[in-house]
Amino acid sequence: MMCEKVTVMEKVRRERGMTKTDVARKAKIQQGLLGWIESGRFTPYDSQLEKIAAALEWDGDPRELLKGADENV
C-alpha cells in the first residue's frame, strides 16, 4: 500500500482546524489548485505560496510549507 507524503502545508492546515476550502478562500485561489499544491503535484508561483502562507498565518519561510512533514523544518 502506497502512502502519500504529507506536506508541512497539510500538517499546518490540519493543526489549525482549517479545510482546503477555508485556506483557498482566504488565499483567493481555487480549492483544486490548493489540493494539487498540497499534494506536491504542482509547484506554486511565489505569489501563490505567499498568499497560502498568509492564509495559514505561517510566520516562517513560505517555501518550508512545501517540504514533507517528516523532513526537518
Which are the contacts of 11, defined by CB distance < 8 A and separation ≥ 6?
69
Place of cell 489549525: 16
Residue 36 is part of which domain span?
A: 8-66
Q: Please tell me the distance from the alpha carbon of residue 43 to that of residue 3, in angstroms, as a whole number.
A: 20
- Residue 3's pLDDT is 55
* pLDDT tens digits for range 21-60: 999 999 999 999 999 999 889 999 999 999 999 999 999 9
Q: How many domains does the chain have?
A: 1
Whether residue 3 is contained in a domain is answered as: no
| CATH number of the domain encompassing residue 30 | 1.10.260.40
Query: Do the beta carbons of residue 23 and residue 56 sit within 8 Å?
Result: yes
Q: Please tell me the distance from the alpha carbon of residue 50 to that of residue 47, in angstroms, as a whole number.
A: 5
Query: Do the beta carbons of residue 3 and residue 66 sit within 8 Å?
Result: no
Whether residue 23 is contained in a domain is answered as: yes
Whether residue 39 is contained in a domain is answered as: yes
